[in-house]
Structure 1
Amino acid sequence: MSLPLEGRSAVVTGAGRGLGRAEALELARLGASVVVNDYGQPGRDGSGAASDGPAEEVAAEIRASGGRAVAHQGDVADHEQARALVQSAIDTYGTLDILVNNAGILRDRMVFSMSEEEWDSVIRVHLKGHFNTTHFAAAHWRSRSKESGGPVYGRIVNTSSEAYLAGSAGQPNYAAAKGGIVGLTTSTALALAKYGVTANAICPRARTRMTEDVFAGFAEPSDDALDPLSPEHVAPLVGYLAAPAAARVNGQLLVVHGGMVAVMERPKVAARFDTAKEAFTFEELDELVSPYYAERPEGETFAAAEVLGLKHEPRG
């Protein structure tokens, strides 16, 4: 019996540690040949000297388990390095079939204290990094489709966050980037569907170096139990979305953690107000809209953050 991803090739960005590592290992377990990308900086804020060590360690782990993997040390936010990353999969394995965008950094601060550089750096790595690799992978699939005269195989799995869904007071840069990734994903899904390519986004919840302070208050399991916040709970969904079985899953946003997958709906209209005149006036809006919010429980708009149970203590 063949494996679900046998004969497929994949790129996983930010795969030297945490979620990316678990995702790369899962894709390899399912039969894919993997390009393990990581810039290799030790700081979760993108600080420190870059190194090929983390990517090579994961690639070696895959090879030791009988899989195929090569390491790529590069910055996905750099347009030319992203081009080289996609090309490395094509040169090594003959084609690219799967792209998993995971690379990211954190530079948390309240919006009134955040510097321009702290904003720009997070948007650059997360949002531009997702765009760069997607751009070159999409161009590859479009070219292959034109050559073959029909659809090809292509899968994109992007990484958003519950910080986008529920808000995160000390992460305006991160939340904005993750929201942008959802928009990029749905646009890409529509644009590439005719070529046989799907694009989906996940909001994973996992205990990694990126989230060590967020989940500091969550109990860790005993030695013989799997941590409910382990990246290993997230990786199987990525493997599924990368597989032929998920051909009809496209343009979706899924929350995943601890043995749970939730398919999110697109925003719905909660209420509608129509003017009785040619155009709204301030007075008419006040008369229509204010009672609607007056009748809603105070703080209801932000109830999702409480439901998610997240804890985040940002710098001032």
Structure 2
Amino acid sequence: MSVRFDGQVAIVTGAGNGLGKSHALALAARGAKVVVNDLGGARDGSGASSEAAQEVVREIEANGGEAIAHGANVAKYDEVQDMVQQAMDKWGRVDILINNAGILRDKTFAKMELADFQLVMDVHVMGSVNCTKAVWEIMRAQNYGRIVMTTSSSGMYGNFGQSNYGAAKMAVLGFMNTLVLEGAKYDIRVNALSPTAGTRMTEDLMPPEILEMLTPEAVTAGALTLCHKDAPNRFILCAGAGGYASTRLFETAGTFIPADEQSPEAVIENWDKICDQGAQAELASGAGQTEKFLTMAMAHTETA
């Protein structure tokens, strides 16, 4: 199967460098018209320049593709709206959104200023919310959309010194889970990419010989898998250095404790049953947990 994006319009945030640039170039090479978004700030979010995004546009055009640059700060909804409107004015639709823009403000939680926590949340979480909100009605109206969130192992598993980044990267998964339910009947599919790559975000965190293995192109192969017409839905794809894996959230079957026995002591006594992975399952929505617990309770009532 050949993955193509002919006739489709894609917005890639944070596309002036690193992973975003790689995603934008690959989408354009496979036929998409691309909005190259980049504020042009430093890794910590300071400063702004349009040059990086313009250079990516020039590279796409030199290869025969179509692209425009936009310097919207994804944390500011009015700027995001302007970016989406420019895409609509030029091409009349938006098919793909890759929420890739991000910053780092790493410190241990004890030393971190709350302003640094807030800024990271604003860019990663509200940036994804703002961009998604700006294209959501467009995708609903055209009965088609592919949205990719960028999560991280730091969010799913934790990473020392990244409480702000980890919280943000886990939050976008909660955002994804509900969008999947609300967008399904409009053929809007929402997935998440968990990348490991050698970019300016990681350049001083790993030795050069390791960074050489962590190419952005390896991650981009995963990103394009998540936003083509036959993409999955509600999938977390982990990608790096040629390795690809999925992360899933499972819940154990658990156990029931009658009302007259419910106490912390009883919970501790039943800990092995609570943690037994033998009948764990992936829940389709939050309501599934409620249904499971009520089914347990009703079964107990019927046998009491």
TM-score if structure 2 supplies the norm length? Answer: 0.85
Match of 1:98 in 2: 96
Q: Which residue of 231, 236, 240 maps to 1:253?
A: 236
Deviation, 1:291, is: 11
Aligned: 1:164 with 2:159: no
Match of 1:274 in 2: 256
Deviation, 1:286, is: 3.7
Deviations 1:233-272 (A, max 9, x none): 01122222222232xx011111011222212222332x73
Q: Is the 8 A contact 2:38 2:72 kept in 1?
A: yes
Give distance in 2, aligned partners of 1:245 and 1:10.
Answer: 16
- Moved beyond 4 Å, runs of 4+: 290-293
Q: Is the 8 A contact 2:197 2:215 kept in 1?
A: yes
Match of 1:302 in 2: none
Report the CA distance shift for 1:220/1:275 in structure 2 as closer, same or farther (over 3 A). closer
Structure ranking higher on relative contact order (CA contacts 8 Å, 6+ apart): 1
Q: Which residue of 210, 213, 216 maps to 1:231?
A: 216
Task: Please tell me the residue identity of whatever aligns with 2:43.
Answer: R
Give distance in 1, aligned partners of 2:79 and 2:261.
Answer: 51
Q: Is the 8 A contact 1:185 1:201 kept in 2?
A: yes
Instruction: Report the number of matched residues.
Output: 275
Match of 1:175 in 2: 166
* Root-mean-square deviation (Å): 2.2
Aligned: 1:140 with 2:138: yes
Q: Which residue of 107, 110, 120 maps to 1:109?
A: 107
Gaps of 5+ in 1: 146-151, 222-226, 294-316
Task: Please tell me the residue identity of whatever aligns with 1:219.
Answer: E
What's the % identity of the aligned pairs? Answer: 40
Q: Is the 8 A contact 2:39 2:73 kept in 1?
A: yes
Q: Is the 8 A contact 2:57 2:69 kept in 1?
A: yes
Q: Within 5 Å, which residues of 2 pair with 1:69-84?
A: 69-84=67-82
Q: Which residue of 66, 76, 93 maps to 2:64?
A: 66
Q: Is the 8 A contact 1:190 1:251 kept in 2?
A: no
Task: Please tell me the residue identity of whatever aligns with 1:47.
Answer: S
Give distance in 2, aligned partners of 1:118 and 1:290.
Answer: 40
Deviation, 1:193, is: 1.2
Give distance in 2, aligned partners of 1:78 and 1:31.
Answer: 29
Give distance in 1, aligned partners of 2:273 and 2:188.
Answer: 46
SS at match of 2:161: coil
Q: Is the 8 A contact 1:30 1:239 kept in 2?
A: no
Task: Please tell me the residue identity of whatever aligns with 1:45.
Answer: D
Deviation, 1:277, is: 4.7
Match of 2:286 in 1: none
Deviation, 1:200, is: 0.5
SS at match of 2:260: coil
Deviation, 1:220, is: 4.1
Q: Is the 8 A contact 2:145 2:189 kept in 1?
A: yes
Deviation, 1:55, is: 0.7
